[in-house]
Amino acid sequence: MCGIAGLFDIRGKRDFDPGLMKRMNDIQFHRGPDEGDIYQEPGVALGHRRLSIIDLSTGQQPLFNEDGSVAVVFNGEIYNYQELVPELEALGHVFHTRSDTEVIVHAWEAWGEDCVQRFRGMFAFGLWDRNRQTFFMARDRLGVKPLYYALLDDGTLVFGSELKVLMQHPGLDRRIDPQAVEEYFAFGYVAEPRTIFRGARKLQPAETLCIRRGAPVPAPRTYWDVQFTLDNPLTQADASAELTERLRESVRLRMIAEVPLGAFLSGGVDSSAVVASMAGLSAEPVNTCSIAFDDPAFNESAFAQMVADRYQTRHFVETVKSDDFDLIDTLAALYDEPYADSSAIPTYRVCQLARKHVTVALSGDGGDENMGGYRRYRTHLMEEKMRNAMPFGVRRPVFGLLGRVYPKADWAPRVFRAKTTFQALARDAVQAYFHNVSILKDDMRRSLFSAGFRKELAGYNAIDVFRRHAFNANDEDPLALIQYLDLKTYLVGDINTKVDRASMAHSLEVREPLMDHKLVEWLASLPSALKIKGQEGKYIFKKAMEPLLPDDVLYRPKMGFAVPLARWFRGPLKARLEEVVLGSTLAETGIFNRDYLRHLLEAHQSGARDYSSPLWTLLMFEAFLRNNSGASAAPTVFA
């Protein structure tokens, strides 16, 4: 795992400032503390920070082909590189290292832009081909590894593994993007391809960008997508057996390392399944790392211990205090743009613990999205059954009116009593799911933003992110639709972002077997009935794991990796929260309606409402603003 950075003159061959390139590379030292290097030639500068995992002695970057005409800087792992080497050697390519990085330069020479189709792994890389005068960037299919870039007014392409790399360049437009603010307060993160700054973008998962010097810059190209065909004819027994073998293969590929390796073990189904698979593949005890909480409501360490005992792992546990909120400013600096998933705190702590014992850790991330594990999926499916009982043209006016008029409807059948149920029935599937996952719902965001800021948004709504992806989804199956939306948004913008930054802050590589693209494709072929059966999520996965894991782990209620925000904001963080929400930093942006900010604060602290998630979102936005005092909304104050 590493950090990459670079500059490319898309028009000519200007010499870039070596000091600038050094600052860009050094700002991400945490991503690769083992080695670092910079390569420059007229019109090109490439930087790399290395966390040594494979081929410790000869895998330095930037790495070149035989004649030095192709150079690459690479972050990630190509898990099938050992299969590609003999194929490329048969085409006449000569390898000088045992590194998976060298496969990239030769694959580019052999297959051009289509080289990414051959890679199985997590990756983000930038590649310069002098002979073709071409710069090529790519990101892995599921967006495990990040890649930020900006096209500056002077014709410079600047890119890096983190937004802070781009922020070293004085030419970057650091004005806040109003549409990014709207997305942040809906999702808790800024969705790809946008960033919080107008001048920067994220390359989306499964995208490449190929720029030939002197030619117009094309739009990024998508090279892969998951198709929810749901047409696999396997029986339940056969699907269960094949799932076990496919997980085993995915884990095996991710156990290739020349440094200490282990796994996160939360006590949930996904991480426990990964650990069980590792134990079956390893002659030595598996290193496992868990975080315990001193608050029993959030502590699942006993279940992790069950799995550790069953497989006799070398188990490391540390207890996190329930008032572990000192990381707020650390997280703001770590994520660069606003990020509001409070589970970033325990994730940071478990990465901190793991790095004391291993350099590579396997995780269970991706299981919920791929196998139907979230409770909100079951809620959505129940709502969809009710919605499908009546045409949308009838539902929308009838239940829309009821949702507005009746705050309570005790006369109605039980399923129709809640105001929120009426509102849900008036929506289409995409609107309903967007509403369910939004931190601040549409009406709350309208109240939160000032009149001037709403004018700046010009009608933009974050649901457009979902609409854009839903166009490519299987909208005939309600579960497939929302799984696809989560794979494109939540998994990338929230989960992968959280794990990448938290792990890289501690120079730890995290690998995700449940995000192997071949496994994801196969799971998307299974009927939805094998994923959710009645009220049981991840049905086929749990059945597959029954021989390997105790029922107490497989069938207990899902807990999640949460922190006690509501209690913090009514107790130890009460004064700080009031200072932030009603303070000058938020007020001076002109973005917010101060009366509504006061309402959120007072309603929560009185106990009338639980506004802990919206308040945490505001707290992290304010921390972002303080950490990036050079950033400004334009205009700074809205009329």
Q: Is 406 helix (H, G, I), strand (E, B) or coil?
A: coil
Catalytic residue among 2, 210, 289, 351: 2
CA distances to 10, 26, 500 from 19, in Å: 20, 10, 27
User: Hunting for tokens 């083992």 — which residue is that?
Assistant: 34
Cα dihedral 475, 147, 624, 628, rounded to 10, equals -150
Angle made by CA atoms 337, 338, 343, in degrees to the nearest 5: 115
**Does the CA dihedral 277-280-284-285 come out positive or negative?**
positive
Residues listed for the chain: 639
User: Does 477 carry a binding-site annotation?
Assistant: no
Dihedral sign (CA 440, 446, 451, 454): positive
Full 3-state SS string of 36-48: EEEEEECCEEEEE
The reply, when asked if residue 525 is annotated as ligand binding, is: no
* Pair of tokens at residue 137: 């960037």
Handedness of CA 386, 389, 395, 398 (dihedral sign): negative
Q: Is residue 364 a known part of a binding site?
A: yes
DSSP SS3 for 330: helix
Distances (CA, A) of 163 to 4, 194, 497: 11, 12, 12
**Nearest-5° Cα angle at 183, 182 to 188:** 115
- Six-digit token pair at 10? 């898309």
Does 363 count as an annotated binding residue?
A: yes
Name which of 12, 133, 121, 137 is nearest 73 in CA terms. 137
Rounded Cα gap, residues 226 and 98, in angstroms: 31
Q: Which residues contact 164 (CB under 8 A, 6 or more apart)?
A: 27, 28, 336
Of 123, 53, 55, 119, residue with least CA distance to 87: 119
2 catalytic? Reply is: yes
Half-sphere exposure of residue 611, counting CA atoms within 13 Å on the CB side? 25
Give the residues across from 128 on adjacent strands: 71, 135
- What percentage of the chain's residues is helix, strand, coil (to nearest 5)? 45, 15, 40
Annotation: binding site: 100, 291, 363-364
Annotated binding site for ATP: 291, 363-364
Binding site listing for L-glutamine = 100
Catalytic residues: 2
